[in-house]
Chain A
Amino acid sequence: MSRLSTSICIGLILVGVALMAILNLATAAGAPFHVPTYAISLVGKYLSYAILALAVDLVWGYGGILSLGHAAFFALGGYAMGMYLLREIGPRGVYGNATLPDFMVFLNYKSLPWYWNGFNHPGFAMAMAVIVPALVALIFGYFAFRSRVSGVYLSIITQALTYALLLAFFRNDMGFGGNNGMTDFKDIFGLPLQADSTRVGLLVASALALCLCLLVARYVVTSRFGQVLIAVRDSESRTRFLGYRPESYKLFVFVLSAIMAGIGGALYVPQVGIINPGEFSPANSIEAVIWVAVGGRGTLVGAVLGAVLVNAGKTFFTGAFPEFWLFALGFLFILVTLLLPKGVLGLLQKKTGGRV
């Protein structure tokens, strides 16, 4: 069941993205089947969100850890990418300073803070986009799981974590651009960000990353490790009495999930063109949880589906009826939890008799 749906999902993503790429690059603007570039970036954004949703589903659906701070890992990955993109601008900024990004010149920095060193190398920055979220998750998870903080307590402290990071990144003297964050990016890996081909490239990269994450996640949850993880989710004490160490299992999956979220964030920033502390807001993390709930918790594919569906709905609503988006989202939260405990995918499985 899960194998079939994963294959279908990966197939759909790859075919859809390939089709979009061809229709964008090979057809002229105004042609009947032309896909505009903004749609490319939009779908790219959905796919980055889908990676985040996947990360949440991995810990929540399989580890029983309801993290209300996963957007923090997403944002940390995004900030790493943003730092690289700012350094990439070089002397072409408004102030023309070769090493200092514009906001630092503006805030009277004399030299680059030490933690900005190395971010001019794309490889280093990409590594950091994964390592920093992983480290934060490792430290946080080590303490949390070791002392057996679980359930809603864990949810609340993950929320406190992202809230603390939100406050920290809002500060100008943190050296991450304060409340304006980072924007006005120009190039990525030497390619102009505004070019259609770069945008399509980013979309394809997001699709590949998503598929890779999906495969890794599926491998993890179907392995022996995954079986124990599910056992931990369903009854932690019983698993412990059987001789397993639930905290190690949880910690591993938590760090893996943070890495995925970081990758999502790193792909998100160049396509959206901005990263600011708002990404750390607890509301974002909770929204990511609802994508998973809508799609179907503990199904992986459902998380991807939910992220794309909810965000497409958000794009539609905020464009057509901006007043009603929050109502719609709110009712979605309530209806899904009350009426659709298995999400859209659960509904589909019921309709198809459990074959998908």
Chain B
Amino acid sequence: MGCFVTAFLAMTDGVVPPDPEGDVMVSIHRFLAVLLVSLPLLATSPARADDAPDPFIGLASQNFDIVANAVSALAVSGNPQAGATIAAIEADNLYVDAADDGAPKILIKQGDAYIDARTGQKAADINEDDVNSVRVNNAVRRAIEAAKGGMDLFAADATTRTKAAEKVFTSHDAAALPLLARAIAAEKDAKAKLVMEQAQAASLLTGDGGSDAERIAAVAILRARGDVESKSLLQSLHDQSKPVATAIDAATSSLARIEQLWSVLQSVFYGISLGSVLLLAAAGLAITFGVMGVINMAHGEMVMLGAYTTFMVQEVIRTHAPGLFAVSLFIAVPLAFLVSGVAGILIERCMIRFLYGRPLETLLATWGLSLILQQGVRSIFGSSNREVGTPEWMSGATQWGGLTITWNRLTIVIFAAIVIAALMAVMRGTSLGLRMRAVTQNRRMAAAMGIRTPWIDALTFGLGSGVAGMAGVALSQIDNVSPNLGQGYIIDSFMVVVFGGVGNLWGTVVSAMTLGIVNKFLEPFAGAVLGKIVVLIALILFIQRKPRGMFPLKGRAVEQ
């Protein structure tokens, strides 16, 4: 038996590829192979004194191959000391005390003291002269490397065991089956056990073993797992017996349906995400255009101001307080609201108030203003894109079932929801909101009731602009911060507001989400640009049918 192992090792040593990854792969294979041959070997080993095999004994050997096998055996033994011991060999801290005639003591050196590897207790009366270091060669090192992987299946921590099982699932090597069987038998944690069973099923199906019934059960396990990997694994299986093949076919087609469902859900998420961006861009406009009836073509520039405020905040943080970077956006949001809001109030006081009742002139004047703001920002910051960083907590993505959700998109969805909720609260719940609605519904009557309508106009416009500024903070995370940032959103924003129905915040929400989702569902068929064109044309046609949007205001306020 031992000879066979040695020959096997020599054989595999010859084919070890030079690249490190391949090296580890081969080692894992070898580890598994060694396991197969060494388990019965250990079971019948004469060195064993009682029923419980002593996995440590081989470590004392002078033969590297025996040491390597001992490492592999130790790894799967489930012995609580296995991890520490293997780590000690790797760190050259494992020693053998050959003083006794009986089983040699295996010692872990810690500082100047020794610890008995079998018990984890401090070992007393060690004579330094009798202690020899356990030497390692490449074969042993590879065994250690592989053992650490397999050992994780028996690790104390359930998460580590699950991860190790996932790894076996991915490699789905038939050689891992006996190891998995042991691990499953020992497993207490339900989740880890499930993953191990899935790994076992994958390994079983890849190999030729198992009865039809076992294989069909394995197919069922993979079907229940239902992810892309299971599906591709099932699809890769050929030459199965008839009942198994039928089961596989049924499983793959059901998985394909599930995958389709996920991709629809993914499109919905992308759509909601795009809808939130549209909603943020349009929310301010829903106030200035929707509630006040002012066509503010400089609305996009209010968004741009918000984005540049974010940039400035991050610049200051970078130079003065780098530790605050993670919260830079939280600082930027109120500042952007203030900057754009004040800009909005100034615009209203200096320009728009002279143009009430002349919507087309307002449109032209605010367009002129947008040109000035763009060129102003270009003169100050340059025309190139400015770098706005994404905090750690917003980068990356998470997998939820078959959905990939990027944190920055999710954050924007949540942010949009908060902004809209706040806006509605202000419009409905505050005295300012009450006055705003009063002024828009009947200006003269509101004035007669003592409301200072000019102030309300200015504040309403400031509120709309400030919301646009907050949108700029969000957009700085997903778009280029350049002087042209706002221009890209102005037409879309108007479309959203008009589609939803002027003067109706809920309408704006529904319309932004509809447009976002429709856009994302059209994209796979029509491509991004054509999809957008189709949506635009559909909108133009829609406005023909319902000139006042999906949710038009009713009553006298309609006719101006």
Query: Closest residue of chain B to A68, judged by CB?
Result: B363
| Measured CA separation A329–B367 after assembly (Å) | 10
Given A163-B491, A163-B536, A164-B537, also A337-B365 (CB < 8 A)? yes
Binds A, one of B63-71, B112-120, B351-359: B351-359
A243 at the interface (CB under 8 A from B): no
- B371, B494, B530: the one within 8 Å of A326 (CB): B371
Number of interface residues of A (CB under 8 A): 45
Is A330 in contact with B369, judged by CB distance below 8 angstroms? yes
- B295, B359, B368, B379: the one within 8 Å of A334 (CB): B368
Interface size class of B (residues with CB under 8 A): 35 or more
Query: Closest residue of chain A to B527, judged by CB?
Result: A171
Query: Closest residue of chain A to B295, judged by CB?
Result: A152
A161 at the interface (CB under 8 A from B): yes
Q: Which residues of A contact B369 (CB under 8 A)?
A: 330, 333-334
Is A338 in contact with B544, judged by CB distance below 8 angstroms? no
| Measured CA separation A151–B360 after assembly (Å) | 8
| Measured CA separation A249–B136 after assembly (Å) | 97
| Measured CA separation A155–B494 after assembly (Å) | 11
| Measured CA separation A293–B362 after assembly (Å) | 12
Q: Which residues of B contact A155 (CB under 8 A)?
A: 295, 360, 363
Name the interface residues of B361-400: CB closer than 8 Å to any CB of A. 361-365, 367-372, 374-376, 378-379
Name the interface residues of A154-203: CB closer than 8 Å to any CB of B. 155-157, 159-161, 163-164, 167-168, 170-171
Is B530 in contact with A171, judged by CB distance below 8 angstroms? yes
- A144, A293, A333: the one within 8 Å of B544 (CB): A144
Q: Which residues of B contact A170 (CB under 8 A)?
A: 529
| Measured CA separation A147–B544 after assembly (Å) | 5
B518 at the interface (CB under 8 A from A): no
| Measured CA separation A331–B370 after assembly (Å) | 10
- B359, B368, B532: the one within 8 Å of A332 (CB): B368
Centre residue among B295, B360, B372, B529 by max chain A CB count within 10 A: B360
| Measured CA separation A163–B533 after assembly (Å) | 8
Q: Which residues of B contact A147 (CB under 8 A)?
A: 543-545, 547
- B359, B360, B367, B536: the one within 8 Å of A333 (CB): B367
Query: Closest residue of chain A to B359, judged by CB?
Result: A152
Q: Which residues of B contact A156 (CB under 8 A)?
A: 491, 494-495, 498
Is A152 in contact with B363, judged by CB distance below 8 angstroms? yes
B217 at the interface (CB under 8 A from A): no
Is B547 in contact with A149, judged by CB distance below 8 angstroms? yes
- A157, A164, A289, A336: the one within 8 Å of B533 (CB): A164
A304-344 interface bits toward B, Cβ cutoff 8 Å, 1 = contact, 0 = none: 00000000000000000001101101111110111001000
CB B21 to nearest CB in A, in angstroms, measures 41
B541 at the interface (CB under 8 A from A): yes
Is B364 in contact with A286, judged by CB distance below 8 angstroms? yes
Is A168 in contact with B533, judged by CB distance below 8 angstroms? yes
Given A160-B491, A160-B495, A164-B536, also A323-B367 (CB < 8 A)? no
Is A329 in contact with B371, judged by CB distance below 8 angstroms? yes
CB B431 to nearest CB in A, in angstroms, measures 30
CB B518 to nearest CB in A, in angstroms, measures 15
Name the interface residues of B479-537: CB closer than 8 Å to any CB of A. 487, 491, 494-495, 498, 529-530, 532-533, 536-537
A226 at the interface (CB under 8 A from B): no
| Measured CA separation A283–B297 after assembly (Å) | 11
B324 at the interface (CB under 8 A from A): no
Is A330 in contact with B375, judged by CB distance below 8 angstroms? yes
Is B533 in contact with A330, judged by CB distance below 8 angstroms? no
Q: Which residues of B contact A151 (CB under 8 A)?
A: 359-360
CB B79 to nearest CB in A, in angstroms, measures 67
Query: Closest residue of chain A to B289, judged by CB?
Result: A152
| Measured CA separation A274–B382 after assembly (Å) | 28
A142-153 interface bits toward B, Cβ cutoff 8 Å, 1 = contact, 0 = none: 011011110111
A282 at the interface (CB under 8 A from B): yes
- Chain A contact residues, CB within 8 Å of chain B: 60, 66, 68, 140, 143-144, 146-149, 151-153, 155-157, 159-161, 163-164, 167-168, 170-171, 282-283, 286, 289-290, 293, 323-324, 326-327, 329-334, 336-338, 341
A164-B533, A171-B529 given; name 18 further pairs at CB < 8 Å: A60-B360, A143-B540, A143-B541, A149-B544, A164-B532, A167-B536, A282-B491, A286-B297, A286-B367, A293-B364, A326-B374, A326-B375, A329-B368, A334-B372, A336-B364, A337-B355, A337-B362, A337-B368
Closest 4 CB pairs of A and B: A333-B368, A330-B372, A330-B371, A326-B375
A–B Cβ pairs within 8 angstroms, 13 of them:
A68-B363, A147-B544, A149-B543, A149-B544, A152-B360, A157-B539, A163-B536, A164-B532, A168-B533, A326-B372, A330-B370, A333-B364, A337-B364
